[in-house]
Structure 1
Amino acid sequence: MTIDAIFEATIQVLLASGLQAITTSQIAERAGVSVGSLYQYFPNKNALLAAVVRRHVGEVVDATIEACRSAHGTAIREMCAAMIAAFVDAKTRRPEVSRALYLPSAAVNADAIVKEESTRCAQAVQQMLRTARDVRFAQPQIVSMMLVGAIVAPTRAVIEAGGDRADFDRLKLHLTALATGYLGEVAAK
């Protein structure tokens, strides 16, 4: 409960104050805990921000992995639609949170977090692609890494541009078309 409250308070303070003005005192006050309690869990502000980013990215990847597993044995178009819908929906459930968590990226080495989670996601995509009922891939590892990379950047761009639910729904359609076309081109002939 306390960790959840601290994470939610961190997001709220980040949204209200911005990265430069955020303090652990503000976060502790918003979470309803003492600063000492906050420091029991996180040694400093950057460790807290990194943990919040890790949780957010992990939740998005977990949802995507679950969608990949549920799409095993289907055709490529269904696989792409399921995976992309899960990713975009998880990333845009609270778009303001995604936007806010892009701010501390450099300060908390979010690239390493994203790389680790993207690898986990690409492994699930690779396992899913191996079960496609309509095509086979000569290099599913490369294909899956490309596919994950191809959906992350456009999603971030739409979120950062202030997209709304209609934009996110259109994004899913565009990304599904992009992914399906790509997979059709790189399928083993």
Structure 2
Amino acid sequence: MTRPAPALLKPRKTPQQTRSAATIGAIHEATIQVLLAEGAGRLTTTRVAERAGVSVGTMYQYYPHKQALLYAIVDRHLQTIMDAMMAAAERLTGSDLAVVAEGLATAWLDAKTADMVASRAIYAIASDFDLTEVMARGMKLMTNVIATLLAAAPDARFARRDAVAFMLAAMLGGSVRVVMESSPTDEDFACLRQELPRACHAYLVAANGVADR
């Protein structure tokens, strides 16, 4: 199936006022509800508008078609995760490597599993879009955030801090994705929550003070 170009999926306009932002929020929540109740195949802008309590005309002021609406849901979900990681980084600034590793891993898992039902519905439609640009932007942001944290950690002596930050971001993203793609049980998530911080800390310890080669 041909994926629509990202340029064709951008909203027609961005809400500037509180009322408009509330309307967009209602549309997004209604989209999730219809996805969960009907699935992506039966989702239509008309169904979403009815669930959100807005006219179809209001919908089209922001989203020209169904694909643009679904793309906005995926993009918003990813942005919510990035916002959570930015907030965690702010709290963790100046902490030692053990605290940074545990804090980042916990914040990532919390953001990814905050609403598992909605997350799985969004994840199911994400493959319909070309998210290369969005994911690259998110990876760059995560790498920069982690690099800043490592620079402020009192026990850090990384010769290649940016490379370590990149690898840690990849570890966080990749490990959680693999688990979420495998129909995980509660026990799987409990194991991930226990072991991921340990793995992140072990990597930071191993990379700390290692000379560039």
Contact 1:73–1:132 (CA<8 Å) still a contact in 2? yes
Tell me by how many angstroms 1:80 deviates: 0.9
Q: Structure 1 residues 160, 27: CA separation in 2 closer, same or farther (over 3 Å shift)? A: farther
Match for residue 120 of structure 2 among 99, 114, 123: 99
Task: Give the Cα–Cα distance (whole angstroms) in 2 for the partners of residues 137 and 53 of structure 1.
Answer: 35
Q: Structure 1 residues 166, 5: CA separation in 2 closer, same or farther (over 3 Å shift)? A: farther
Give the match for residue 76 of structure 2: 55
Q: Structure 1 residues 61, 166: CA separation in 2 closer, same or farther (over 3 Å shift)? A: farther
- What value does the CA root-mean-square deviation take over the aligned residues? 1.8
* Structure 2 unaligned regions, length at least 5: 1-21
Deviations 1:54-82 (A, max 9, x none): 11111111111211221122111100111
Task: Give the Cα–Cα distance (whole angstroms) in 2 for the partners of residues 170 and 128 of structure 1.
Answer: 26
Letter of the structure 1 residue corresponding to residue 95 of structure 2: T
Give the match for residue 147 of structure 2: 126
Task: Give the Cα–Cα distance (whole angstroms) in 1 for the partners of residues 192 and 89 of structure 2.
Answer: 19
Letter of the structure 2 residue corresponding to residue 89 of structure 1: D
Deviations 1:92-126 (A, max 9, x none): 11011211111222323233222212211221111
Give the share of equivalent positions with the same residue, in percent.
36
SS at match of 1:136: coil
Contact 1:105–1:111 (CA<8 Å) still a contact in 2? no
Letter of the structure 1 residue corresponding to residue 38 of structure 2: S
Task: Give the Cα–Cα distance (whole angstroms) in 2 for the partners of residues 147 and 123 of structure 1.
Answer: 11
Q: How many residues align?
A: 189
Residues 20-169 of structure 1 mapped to structure 2, 5 A cutoff: 20-163=41-184, 167-169=188-190
Task: Give the Cα–Cα distance (whole angstroms) in 2 for the partners of residues 17 and 148 of structure 1.
Answer: 35
* Structure 1 unaligned regions, length at least 5: none
Contact 1:72–1:128 (CA<8 Å) still a contact in 2? yes
Contact 1:63–1:86 (CA<8 Å) still a contact in 2? yes
Q: Structure 1 residues 165, 62: CA separation in 2 closer, same or farther (over 3 Å shift)? A: farther
Task: Give the Cα–Cα distance (whole angstroms) in 2 for the partners of residues 29 and 130 of structure 1.
Answer: 50
Letter of the structure 2 residue corresponding to residue 2 of structure 1: T
Q: Structure 1 residues 32, 162: CA separation in 2 closer, same or farther (over 3 Å shift)? A: farther
TM-score, normalised with respect to structure 2: 0.81
Q: Structure 1 residues 110, 14: CA separation in 2 closer, same or farther (over 3 Å shift)? A: farther
Name the larger-Rg structure.
2
TM-score, normalised with respect to structure 1: 0.90
Contact 1:92–1:168 (CA<8 Å) still a contact in 2? no
Q: Does 1:187 align with 2:208?
A: yes
Contact 1:76–1:135 (CA<8 Å) still a contact in 2? yes
Task: Give the Cα–Cα distance (whole angstroms) in 2 for the partners of residues 74 and 80 of structure 1.
Answer: 10
- Structure 1 stretch displaced more, 90-99 or 135-144: 135-144
